[in-house]
Structure 1
Amino acid sequence: MAVVTFDMLCISNGICNASSHKTSVKDTAIRTDSSAVKTRLQVSRLCCLDCILYREDSMNAQSQPWRLWLLYLRRLIGSQTIRPITQSNWYQPRVIISGSTAPALHARPASASGLIAEAVLDSIDDYLQRQNSHALLIMHQDQLVHAKYWNFKPHYTFNSMSMVKTVQALSIGIAIDLGLIGSVHDSVAQYLPEWRNDERAKITIEHLLTMQSGLKSDLSRQGITVFPAIVPLYLGTNIKKHALALPAVAEPGCYFEYNNYNTQILGLILEQVSGLSSAAFFSKYIWQPLECHDASLWLDQENGTARTFGALFARPEDWLRVASLFLTKGNYKGRQIVSEAWLKEMIIPRNTEARGVKDGKGDYGYQIWLKAHDYGLIRGIPWFEATHAKAPHVDEEMFYFEGMRGQYLFVSPRHNLLMLRMGERPKRDWDGSWAINQLLQHLDEVPELA
């Protein structure tokens, strides 16, 4: 059966030379059978418009507003014609987070220990496969006991979306351990002078960590005629400028409101105090010490600023290495990566009034989630509706990294357990708590072993 790629569609329509179409989706294919003709034509039109707008990218988009809108539109179209978790080639340019050459993790069958029944794993596998998942990894008692991949390979990297927020919080803790930052109670303006002479001078690092900064919501269209504030952050070419210009609309500490700008500003602080890029800091203090493989961050432009709020591309198994710090008190093979005290601080709930949450609580620590929640309600965006949990977690002390479209990394110190689900957007009947609860309930039934 013939296969037509986006680049072939562009060339066939005489729009562009695919060799220059760097940010197109080169690895997406469209079947040419009769059932796919309509889809092929739709994507062809989108891709051709994308190519036309791509030419504007070579211009100075910042100098004329209409060119900036064209740039946003081009990238927006591109982002909606891909599978955003697995098709990482679309996210360009990127910078490497240099890792280690350590061997990959190999799963030891869970059945060998007698702790996790194969029937339980099969049930979880079946559910996640139906929900557009690409990887399920389970680490129990310091052993990788289950690794399942669907249309994905262990050495592939994926877009973790907002899971990187927790890495950012770990990095802030490391910076405090190193004496680069005095305290979470330091004013952000102490490190970013652009905030010294207005109401944002009251915002502390802790306000950013807990999503209680009072900054304008990244979903707000106030002062922007077409796009909400998240668009220049996600698609723009000067995100530092936009982050530093975001105004405050409330007193800090008054309420929880999830806002990607909070995390992006933490990244700016980290770069300011360390003299390193985010990629270099992650590499030196986290990735290489943990023997993770090479990863990457999405930049706003060549040699530009990393989108540290939600675009780190890494192997699934390396996320287990990062999360294992919460189970080992921050130690890896005898080396203290981050202080135990900081890890404890990260998972303390700091609830204030929470906007858009059913029970009015954010249940959020330092860039990490502490309770099951409905992400669609928290963000107030319809297309996030599939990433909700229908039931509380069985282990009330469990916490987790989370990214858009159902990226989950659960950490249960009680069971010495990690579970990663990676994949594209789940279906509408998705329950983000079902798989982990099945596993936890099973382990609770064998407490003498677990």
Structure 2
Amino acid sequence: MLSLPLLAAAQIPAGAASAQEAPVQPDLPPYTAFSPEEEAVHNARFQALVKAFSTGTGLDSYSPLVAVPGKAQEGIPRRNTAENTISADALQAITDYAAKNNSDALLVYRDGALEHEIYFGDTTKDTLINARSMAKPVTALAVGRAIKLGYIGSLDEPVSKYVTAWRNDPKKSKILVRHLLDMRTGLLPQGAAFDPNHVLNRAYLHPRHDEVIIRDYPALYEPGTRYGYSNATSEMVAPLIEAATGRRYETFISEEVFRKIGAAGGKIWLNRDGGTAHSGCCILLPTEDYLRISLLILQDGIWQGNTLLPAGYVTEMKQGTAENPYYGLGLWVAGTYIERRGVAHPDRDFYKVLHSEPYEADDLVLFDGNGNQVSYIVPSETLIILRLGKRPPKGREWDNSFMPNTVIRGIVKNRGTSKRQPPPQSR
């Protein structure tokens, strides 16, 4: 995977750090300057990002962090190996694949229990892992929970109802809540920027990054008319949640998402002491928390009998749009098979992730974070495969089809009820 040396690319999903949908705009308006002390913090973070990319990594160190407490409940059941529903050969094959590709953790859940759990190197089940853009599905859950609780009326309300600074902007006033989740805000797409004060970098690193996005980030297209992957788009969920609920973003997801699903919780990037949390990236959680988030999707927004999301909300999350049929509300969907696809608009020919063959199940959806960190969710097989870690070593390429297809083909028995084979992804 290529790296953008001077870009807030740490949140871009796997294999796409070089995706640049539109050229950097030469005529962007002047940026809003804040205090000299805050500008110095921004510049120091930018230099740290440059140094990180020079070694082939993203920005792993960030300060300040703020706690996102959970409420650990009974652990997810572990199945005795003798009772596994997936063949040992299939589990070994994906373990070998994970090991060769710089993985930190690999979990496989099926039919109500964890069947496979392995950690690599110094990683343990308690290690807090930054899964980058896996923060984006959390934004969708936060919005869904806020709708369920009545803080937000619907996905089709204008964001400007809550973020009032956008009310008089001819384009931003038309951005709907759903556009923050399906990447159709019309905001400047993600791209390369070599100037520390370019809005792409300020929207990622500045200690007032939320104000940068609200004030300075340009809207290029009419909202709802074009897909354009943008970290800034997801970062706007935190100001939305805070304005709508009166609670800080990290507090809301702690109380209304993580505690409800028995997650242990962790930490999240905060732009400055007392400031705003990053919602597009980056949250640090133990591996099992990412599994629990995936389980909430698998269970249609229900946890231990409690309905946490509005009826039909998870179904909406799984629906692509006419502008990008492969991306729903924070979720990537199977769609029609193509060999390569990435985060940029489908008509852009930038670096795309390999899919060597169609998925074995057409209802597969996935979370995707930078470094090929993925959670494959297959409702027809009550299956989740979670892989966290870094991008593959130089000379190797991640194949997004290998793990789910190997496991689905390795299923040897169904527990409780007889299931038909799910239809494969259409060509």
Q: Determine if the TM-score, normalized by the shorter chain, exceeds 0.5.
A: yes
Match of 1:442 among 410, 413, 426: 410
In the other structure, the counterpart of 2:377 is 411
- Shift of residue 161, structure 1, vs aligned partner: 0.5
Report the residue type matching 2:108 in the other structure: I
- Shift of residue 341, structure 1, vs aligned partner: 1.6
Match of 1:367 among 320, 330, 336: 330
Corresponding position: 1:219 with 2:191? yes
TM-score by length of 1: 0.76
- Quote the Cα distance in structure 2 between the aligned partners of 1:220 and 1:249: 16
**What is the aligned-residue identity percentage?**
26
Number of equivalenced pairs: 375
Match of 2:52 among 37, 55, 79: 79
CA gap 1:404/1:243 in 2 versus in 1, 3 angstroms: same
- Quote the Cα distance in structure 1 between the aligned partners of 2:75 and 2:57: 25
Corresponding position: 1:300 with 2:271? yes
- Residue pair 2:72, 2:259 contacting (<8 A) in 1 also: no
In the other structure, the counterpart of 1:12 is none
Please give the residue correspondences for 1:174-193 in structure 2 after superposition, counting only pairs within 5 Å. 174-193=145-164
SS in 1 for 2:358: coil
Match of 1:278 among 249, 252, 276: 249
- Residue pair 2:85, 2:110 contacting (<8 A) in 1 also: no
Match of 2:88 among 102, 105, 118: 118
- Quote the Cα distance in structure 1 between the aligned partners of 2:63 and 2:195: 27
- Residue pair 2:318, 2:365 contacting (<8 A) in 1 also: yes
- Residue pair 1:211, 1:257 contacting (<8 A) in 2 also: yes
Match of 1:92 among 63, 80, 84: 63
Please give the residue correspondences for 1:253-272 in structure 2 after superposition, counting only pairs within 5 Å. 253-272=224-243
RMSD: 2.8
- Residue pair 2:39, 2:206 contacting (<8 A) in 1 also: no
In the other structure, the counterpart of 1:426 is 392
Report the residue type matching 2:311 in the other structure: E
Alignment deviations for residues 256-308 of structure 1 (CA, whole Å, 9 cap, x no partner): 11111111112210111111111111111111111110311111112221111
- Residue pair 1:107, 1:147 contacting (<8 A) in 2 also: no
Which of these two proteins has the greater Rg computed from alpha carbons? Answer: 1
SS in 2 for 1:443: coil
Match of 1:317 among 285, 288, 303: 288
In the other structure, the counterpart of 2:182 is 210
Alignment deviations for residues 8-64 of structure 1 (CA, whole Å, 9 cap, x no partner): xxxxxxxxxxxxxxxxxxxxxxxxxxxxxxxxxxxxxxxxxxxxxxxxxxxx97438
In the other structure, the counterpart of 2:27 is none
Which is bigger in relative contact order (C-alpha 8 A, separation at least 6)? 2
SS in 1 for 2:384: strand
SS in 2 for 1:378: coil
- Quote the Cα distance in structure 2 between the aligned partners of 1:187 and 1:337: 23
- Shift of residue 231, structure 1, vs aligned partner: 1.6
- Residue pair 1:387, 1:404 contacting (<8 A) in 2 also: no
- Shift of residue 394, structure 1, vs aligned partner: 1.7
- Shift of residue 68, structure 1, vs aligned partner: 6.3
CA gap 1:92/1:103 in 2 versus in 1, 3 angstroms: farther
- Quote the Cα distance in structure 1 between the aligned partners of 2:190 and 2:37: 23
- Shift of residue 190, structure 1, vs aligned partner: 1.0
In the other structure, the counterpart of 1:56 is none
- Shift of residue 377, structure 1, vs aligned partner: 6.3
Which sections of structure 1, spanning at least 5 residues, go unmatched? 1-59, 353-360
- Quote the Cα distance in structure 2 between the aligned partners of 1:326 and 1:377: 21
Alignment deviations for residues 389-448 of structure 1 (CA, whole Å, 9 cap, x no partner): 333322111101111111101111100011100011113322122111111222389795
CA gap 1:128/1:431 in 2 versus in 1, 3 angstroms: same
- Shift of residue 345, structure 1, vs aligned partner: 1.3
- Shift of residue 116, structure 1, vs aligned partner: 0.8
Please give the residue correspondences for 1:37-76 in structure 2 after superposition, counting only pairs within 5 Å. 62-63=35-36, 67=40, 70-76=43-49
In the other structure, the counterpart of 1:49 is none
